[in-house]
Structure 1
Amino acid sequence: MLKFPFEINDISDALNRTLLDYFKGERDGFVQVGPSKYFFPKQFKKNAESYYNFQARPSDIWVSTFPRSGTTWTQELVWLIGNNLDFERAKNELLTSRFPFFEFNTFMHPQVKQELLQANKYDEEHQNFIHRISQSIIPYLDGMSEQRFIKTHLPLSLMPPSVFQENSKIIYVARNPKDVALSYYHLNRLYKTQGYIGEFEFYWRIFKTGLNAWLPYWDHLEEAWGRRTDPNILFIFYEEMNNDIRKTINRISSFMGRSYSKEQVEQLAEHLNIKSFKCNNSVNGLEMRKVKILNEREGDFIRNGIINGSDYELTPELQKEMNKWISENLEKSGIIFPDF
């Protein structure tokens, strides 16, 4: 077994107390991992080695993103391309089963799990679902005989080395950080496993300084951007997908060694239309809402999907600050976002 190669350090007690006051889904505290100080709940310590030693296969397809970068949309697109546009199965089988989330168990604190089990104490099916998603997905993946489709938010440096040794395919999606930050704020309020209770202004300070799960944002993107010419990596922008989904379908199909007719591409594009996508119960998080993992007082898991949607919710002062931060980091990183 490989030793996990990066240091995992607890954050300071004072900072830990502050963050625990705002993030009610974590109870023990947080750690920072490696030279980039990637941010995780403390449970990452006990899971890091098993993640790192996961045995990938050449046929695996990974969708890797920073959260709220069009992940679910891309998963559905990729799974259908890889499964001969089997819309019937996609309709009847949850995306969370078809395309498992690699590291989700790190974010289900045992106390939160018990609270959810108690909230679902009269429904055995719901309790079984909670038990299942709280466990490591690795034994399930190891036991699969069919092609595996895997979702992760881990940066490339924390992914299992076998992914690169076996040349598994990785589709990495990047999105404008202003839209990501606002959407991620809403997700942190929505999911009880995060349980954020503050306002956006404070959350923005957390996001900017890398103090929420999977941050820092720029390090995450720069790792993938630096390897975008690797033959097993397809780097795409959410803005490109949003602007021309048909072109994106063809690009991903080619990367996956598939080819579909113009009519089939049109059918898939219609399936992915945001209006129908939001109502698709196999992808829209309904199963999470049923078991009370989602906060009833918050909005939908799938939001509006528009570009520059953050402009409608932010004050001019905050927009100016965010734009300055983005501009400075784009200049340093060399990443070029599409301007649609």
Structure 2
Amino acid sequence: MAEQKHFPFEMKELEDEEKAAFFKAYRTSTVDHRFDFVSVGPKKYKQLRRYCEEAANIYNMPVRNSDVFVVTYQRAGTTWTQELVWLLANDLDYATAKAKVLTERFPYTELFTFFDKKWEEDFLKNSEDKQMALKLIENIATPITGKLALMPSPRFVKTHLPLSLLPPSLLDTSKVVYVARDPRDVAVSSYHLARLFKIMDFPGTFKDYWNLFVKDLVNLSPFFPHIKEAWDVRHHPNMLFLFYEELIKDLPAAVLRVADFLGKELTEEQLARLCDHLSFENFRKNESVNYQSLREFGLLTPDENFIRKGKAGGWRDYFDEEMTQQAEQWIADNLRDTDLRFPHMDN
């Protein structure tokens, strides 16, 4: 029997009141049983139960000097940043970027946690093309640490895990691009994501989702400890800490910062073309990044899109006065012990 790798954090069941709040919000959902969270470590990071199978392997996976990790809390501009990083690191190879979907170019460490064995069985049983179904299961429902070990360098890795749950040697070995975003916009975008993927099937209103978000009862929460871990090491030479709002406000300047971090230089013409490629008008239509192929398999709802509006401050269209005041107090309370501040965007 193989020796079990060490994982230093305890994984606990949620408290009864937490479970009750969660299942109340999912009361009309047909998939609430799949969203079975555990609480990880002293900061009580919420992870789907399948994460437990792979937690030690992720924590202990060997990292390389040539690796580039994009680390974010979900819906903070992750996909946008991945495409930017990959193109810069691969000398603006637009042909390969178009031909090969981002999930293959930039594997996602915990994607498999959303798809339990029951989902795999049902999906395979209900699929007419069994070979295609098996290929999709291999791509999205299988842990990737084994695949990563076989991948040639340089490797590009996406994760929503906080730094504390990633290999301890990561920052001293590999480059890390961390992107942070105003939590109110993150909550809105996460709500739409939970409605986009049928595997999530969130049945409630945005206010229902927000009440879970501020109580740290959504996947990946709590929000602030995740960002503070990265903020505290933002001056490490292998860390580039970006705000999503900075990319929105001045994309060319942000692109040049990332290029400098990766040791790349761009001509004015190359910069202009890359910014055009990354414009949200074009990004939404880019089939290698927008997950539209999953619609063919019936995994997405028809009235939501993975790439949404690409703006900052859109939360104002969703928050009533009570929620606005609640959010302001929640943010103030969580920023009291840090000099982290989110850029203010004028709309």
SS at match of 2:47: strand
State the match for 2:298 in structure 1.
Answer: 292
SS at match of 2:332: helix
Q: For 1:157-306, what aligned pairs fall within 5 Å after superposition?
A: 157-165=164-172, 167-296=173-302, 298-306=303-311
SS at match of 2:246: helix
State the match for 2:22 in structure 1.
Answer: 19
State the match for 1:3 in structure 2.
Answer: 6
Show structure 1 runs of 5+ residues with no match.
none
Aligned partners of 1:102 and 1:151 also within 8 Å: yes
Is 2:323 the partner of 1:337? no
Aligned partners of 2:206 and 2:318 also within 8 Å: no
The letter of the residue matching 2:321 is: P
Distance 2:35 2:326 in 1: 32
Instruction: Identify the range of structure 1 (176-185 vs 121-130) with the bigger mean alpha-carbon deviation.
Output: 121-130
Show structure 2 runs of 5+ residues with no match.
none
Instruction: Identify the range of structure 1 (131-140 vs 325-334) with the bigger mean alpha-carbon deviation.
Output: 325-334
Aligned partners of 2:198 and 2:300 also within 8 Å: yes
State the match for 2:73 in structure 1.
Answer: 66
Is 2:36 the partner of 1:29? yes
State the match for 1:41 in structure 2.
Answer: 48
Identity over aligned residues, as a percent? 39
The letter of the residue matching 1:96 is: T
Tell me: CA distance 1:25–1:100, structure 2 relative to 1, closer, same or farther (3 Å).
Answer: farther
- TM norm structure 1: 0.94
Distance 2:124 2:282 in 1: 32
Is 2:161 the partner of 1:149? no
**Deviation beyond 4 Å, 4+ runs, structure 1:** none
Aligned CA RMSD, in angstroms, stands at 1.7
SS at match of 2:336: helix
Distance 1:328 1:162 in 2: 31
SS at match of 2:70: strand
Instruction: Identify the range of structure 1 (128-137 vs 15-24) with the bigger mean alpha-carbon deviation.
Output: 15-24
State the match for 2:143 in structure 1.
Answer: 136
1:218-247 alpha-carbon deviations (Å, 9 max, x no partner): 000100000101111100100001111101
SS at match of 1:257: coil
The letter of the residue matching 2:9 is: F
State the match for 1:99 in structure 2.
Answer: 106
State the match for 1:313 in structure 2.
Answer: 318
Tell me: CA distance 1:243–1:28, structure 2 relative to 1, closer, same or farther (3 Å).
Answer: closer
Instruction: Identify the range of structure 1 (40-49 vs 324-333) with the bigger mean alpha-carbon deviation.
Output: 324-333
Aligned partners of 1:75 and 1:151 also within 8 Å: yes
Number of aligned pairs?
338
Distance 1:64 1:245 in 2: 19
